[in-house]
């Protein structure tokens, strides 16, 4: 999970460099500004959530506290990111591939909450890793669009 966090930090850093080198003025209404915000939120979210299970495993060894509780928090964060995406979608029409990604994001959210609430506790580490990879994929997508 540390490697995933390092990749996310690298993407956030490269996004800052790209932003500094571009001559486009970023205003609150700019679609690129919204993408940059989403990139930073997803990248930093990956970094933050990658270390939560390790931190909690020092406190307790129970599956709920190490994997399920962080999955519930991760699910809430993911829902917040979806709300931010739909709010930013008002700045411009979402592209076709974004509409394809929405059902996949909803599937990841359903997995996060179902495992977090204890329906499939044996798959909690895998679900957590899937959630991290999904958020990293979204950050990479936003990074590619900003290029």
Single pTM value for the model: 0.80
At 75 the pLDDT is 93
pLDDT given at position 59: 84
Contact 43, 5 (CB under 8 A): no
pLDDT at 28: 44
- Give long-range contacts, CB 8 A cutoff, 24+ apart: 15-20: 15/39, 15/40, 15/43, 15/143, 15/146, 18/146, 18/147, 19/146
Q: Half-sphere exposure of 45 toward its Cβ, with a 13 Å CA cutoff?
A: 27
| Residue-by-residue pLDDT tens, the chain, 147 positions | 677 777 777 777 776 666 665 655 555 446 667 777 888 888 888 888 988 988 888 888 887 888 899 999 999 999 998 888 777 766 556 677 778 888 999 999 999 999 999 999 899 999 999 999 999 898 888 878 777
Q: Which pLDDT score is estimated for 62? A: 84
């Amino acid at each position: 999970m540390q490697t995933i966090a390092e990749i996310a930090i690298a993407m956030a850093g490269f996004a800052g460099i790209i932003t500094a080198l571009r001559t486009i003025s970023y205003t609150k209404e700019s679609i690129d500004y919204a993408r940059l915000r989403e990139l930073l939120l997803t990248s930093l979210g990956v970094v933050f959530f990658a270390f939560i299970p390790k931190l909690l495993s020092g406190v307790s060894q129970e599956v709920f506290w190490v994997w399920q509780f962080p999955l519930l928090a991760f699910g809430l964060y993911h829902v917040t990111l979806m709300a931010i995406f739909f709010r930013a979608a008002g700045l411009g029409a979402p592209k076709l591939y974004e509409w394809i990604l929405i059902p996949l994001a909803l599937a990841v959210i359903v997995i996060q909450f179902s495992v977090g609430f204890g329906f499939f506790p044996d798959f909690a580490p895998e679900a957590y890793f899937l959630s991290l990879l999904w958020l990293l994929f979204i950050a990479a997508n936003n990074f590619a669009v900003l290029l």
